[in-house]
Each structure stands twice: as C-alpha cells, then as structure tokens.
Chain A
C-alpha cells in the first residue's frame, strides 16, 4: 500500500515536472514575442498620448492632440474644426483596398484550391509547391516585377501597341487598380493555402450525393462546398485582409505618392512628417481595425465549431 502511494506520488511529481518543462520550451518564443511585439506596442501606445518633439521623437508631456488629429483638423488661421479629410480618405481607401483584395484573392484562390484538391493525391504537392514559388523572392522584387508589367512602357502596353490595338499607353500604374493588382498577386498564396487545407479534408462523396439529389452545380457549390470549407475561407480572408490593410511596400511602389494607404501614412508621420505621436495614434488605429476583424473571425470559428459539436 505504502509503496503504491509513493509510486503514484512519484508519477505526479514527474507529471508536474513535464508540465513545467513544456512551459520552459515555449519560453524563448514568448520572450521574443514580448520583446518584439508587446513591448514596442506598449511604447507606441504611450507615445500616442505624448506631444511630438520638433525634430522627431516625443516630449514627455501628456497630450490627446495626436488622437484628435487622427479624425479632425484645425484650420491654421481661424482654428475652426473640420474632419481630417486626408486621413479619413486614406483610412477608407486602406479598408476598401484590403477588402477588395480579399475578395479578388478569394475569387482567384477558390477555383485554384478546388483544382489542386481534386487532383490525384500524388500530384497535389507539386501544385502546392508551384503556389509557393513566389515566396522565394523578396516582396520588393516581386512588386517591381508587377511594375514592369503594368507601367506605361511595360509589357502590357508595349504589347498592345505593337499589336496595333492602342496608340497611347493605358495608364495603369499609380492608381488604386495598380495597388489591387499588386496586392492580389502578393497575397494570393495566403488565400490558396488555407482554402486548400479545408478542401483537402472535404469528402467529395458528399458532392456526389448532392448531385444525386438533384442539386445543380451552383447549388452544390452554395449548399455543400462553401459551408463545408467555410473555416478555410475565413482563415484565408483574415490572412489576406490583415497584412493587406497595413501594406506598405506595394502601395508605395505601385500607388505612387498620391495613392497612400495607412502604412504609408504612418511611415510619413515617423519620417518626413516628424509627428511621432500622430504616427503612433494611427498605428493603434490600424491595430484596432485588425482587432475588430479578428473578433468577427473568432466568433465565426466559434459558431462553426459549435455547429460541429
């Protein structure tokens, strides 16, 4: 009896040690996460409530001016208040472009993922490998490649001119359209991969069963495939929307100076604008939008898993 108790006590201690050890294993990651994410974020949050120093940096004096400026602007002469049109425009453009990019990547990614998932199992890895090839090169280089394609003397315009279809080049570069093209290209793999993961698990016998029960192709897509791969659609949308909202390189290269997005605006405030506080407030705003989107995501996942149980 006594030995048994002692034995189980030993086992318990061993279990506890194991749990402690597994915590220790995640310590490096947690440390990096804290130092690289949570810490700086806290600093940014604090900075957003301080006064900007004249040549960059902050003065340690409380001020809500930066937050005020995110939404409003004061006339230099008579001090009247009005909405900060420029900021709101950029905010709106960022959300719109990120949302449209999510839609276009979904539109292109869904058939792609479906195609890969319906290939023989041995061929799927090759297709997935091809999807990941763009990741081999730097984002900036990929973006310049797009620039080379759509600029006025680029491949498309030159080709159309040589074919005699147009006399004057079509202005595609430095527009929201150019940003969309670039972002769709850059973020497409992020949509395809989670979609594929969902579709690979899809039991295609259910698709057959639906056809058998008089469902047309469209009805099968709407009633069977989309509901069953919804987790993949949601995950892919988040993976595209979040970085697209804060995109910096693509709008900078393809949008030119005029078509700024939030990322560029923030960079401007920390750089040439020399208003670190406003930059910090804008950063937190961006974070807040992302948080709201993630909240919807968590809700959707919860509903999906509840429905599954």
Chain B
C-alpha cells in the first residue's frame, strides 16, 4: 500500500507551513516521515541540505507536538519540558533555566511542579508545546494539536501558536483537516488528497485561485459550472458557460485550457442582479445565517448556484422563493480548474 505518491514539498525557514487534507490523505504519514517514526521506501528528506531520511528520530533536530500530547505521566510539568534537553546531555542548570523560560513562554509558571494529569486539556496542550520547543528544534511538527480542544480554546490557541512561531523563529509544520485553522494561521498551505499534494500556496492563493475541483470544494464553498473554451491566447481565454454567456478570463501562471473545463465561482463573489445578469435562474431557497444570507438558485440550465450576501442593518428581505433572479459576477472571480 502506498500512502504517499510523488510528494515534493519545499518548506522555507521560519515558515508556518500547513499540511491540509481530509483524514487518510497522507498528511500524518508525511509528518511521521519527517519526524523519523517511519522510513520512506523511496525518496529523500533534506533538512538544511542534509539528508535525514534514515536517521532515527532521536538524531533529528525535529520535535513533535502530538495529537494526544503524549506527556509523560510519571513526570512533573517541568520535568516533561526539560526531558529533551536532559537527553541532549545539557547541564542541569541549563535544563532548569530553559524549562522555566518555556513555562513563561506558554504562561504556565505556576504549574511547574504539577503532575500532568492534574492540569486541564488546554494546559496539557501548552506543556506539550513547551516540551517540543525547549530543545529549540530546527523544525516543529504539530499533528492536529488543537483537535481535542473546544471551540473557544481552539481559537485562543490558534493565535497563541502564531505568536509562539514568530517569537521563536522556528519553522512550524502544522497538520490539520480544518480548513479554517489552516487559513488563519499559515504562511503557506499544501492541500493534500489521496497521497498527493494538489496545490501549494498562501491561504489567499489557495482560496482565491484553487487549482482543481478538490481544492476548491475542500476549502470554502464553491459553485461549479461547466464551460467550453472557445479561444485561447496565452493566459487569456474566452469561455462559454454551459448556461449561456461568453466570458473572458485570465488563467493562473503555467496553466492552459482547452475543450470542456470546470470553472469555480465563490458564492460571495457573485451577487443577485435584477438586470445585466450573466446567469438566470429561479430562487429556490433563502437561508438566513446572521452575518449573511445564502440564496440558493436553480439556474435555467439545471445547475445549482449559491449566492452569499452580507447582511446590512438596513437590508430588507424583498425576494421570495420561486422568484426569477439574475446572477452577476466579475470575470476575474471565475477560476478555471485543472481537469
């Protein structure tokens, strides 16, 4: 069985890099290869130009924050944090000083002599972070560390992680299946699916210019439409949407398109328009979500389309389900996807 297939990723120094994908996509396997718990059958892993593919975990300057935290139950908080440095053979005074500094960094000074089962989940999370950061690894791996926390704590820790990363200047490789987490924290994201890396880019690039259908679907909500390429001139192409209108769009770099393609339009990039509409259809459903409203439209061609509209204080609900509506969007909000 092959868990990873032709994965090639370059992670920059001091970067907050996220591996994003559904469970079973190979992101944890990739993390375990980097940590050294598993050995690659083929390929190499380089750390600052040095081949570490077959070094045991204890010889790599890479530390991990485990999903289960994996704190040592027979040691105190401070002993847990000092363990890595102790194993590196650092003098006792340095181990203690670093542990204290780390406790301060994660704001846990008063719990230094507690046992790890006497502290809350959020606190255990901080100890796990401090323990992995204490030896100052070149790379810190985080395996879905926030998944066990409740919503509010998770939000807090997202900001906390970002702060720790910029304060320590250590490269973070973060694994998650939560697209929101990935978008808020990462410098760059690699979207993975079925053992392959589908797209690497900044959160904005990934969100605004998804490369293929999976990425567009996995991150945020998207409307998919079929289209036909009429003419192309370098990155400029003319398309005809299946539901009628012709539009001119610009392709991302190194991308060409021909024949039948799928295009994606984010719901918030489209608006309901009484006239000058690119698409026409019937309003099927109106979903009020507080901050915004979703209009579910059945296009005349039979496809479903969602328009998201931010609610204003003075907006009044004039439309009724069943009414004919037009949908308008800017040509640059149309993303041509890879087949």
Interface residue ranges, A against B (CB under 8 Å): 203, 205-206, 208-216, 219, 223-224, 227-228, 307-308
Contacts and interface: CB of A to CB of B under 8 A. Distances in A.
B58 A216 contact: yes
Interface in B172-207: none
Contacts of A203: 68, 70
Contact of B87 (A205, A213, A227, A307): A213
B84 interface: yes
Contacts of B59: 214
7 contacts: A209-B64, A210-B72, A211-B56, A214-B87, A214-B88, A215-B58, A216-B87
B329 interface: no
A34 B35 CA distance: 59
B37 A208 contact: yes
B135 to A, nearest CB: 7
Contact of B72 (A206, A216, A219): A206
A234 to B, nearest CB: 14
Interface of B: 35-37, 56-59, 62-64, 66, 68, 70-74, 83-84, 87-88, 115, 117, 131-132, 135
Nearest to A228: B74
Contacts of A224: 72
Given A205-B66, A206-B73, A212-B36, 19 more contacts: A208-B37, A208-B66, A210-B72, A210-B83, A211-B57, A211-B58, A212-B35, A212-B63, A212-B132, A213-B131, A213-B132, A214-B58, A214-B84, A214-B87, A214-B88, A214-B135, A215-B58, A219-B87, A228-B73
A220 to B, nearest CB: 9
A233 to B, nearest CB: 14
A212 B66 CA distance: 10
- A-side interface mostly: helix
Contacts of A308: 73, 117
Contacts of A206: 70, 72-73
A271 to B, nearest CB: 50
A219 B83 CA distance: 11
A203 B135 CA distance: 23
Given A205-B66, A219-B87, A212 B57 contact: yes
Contacts of A219: 87
B116 to A, nearest CB: 11
B58 A212 contact: yes
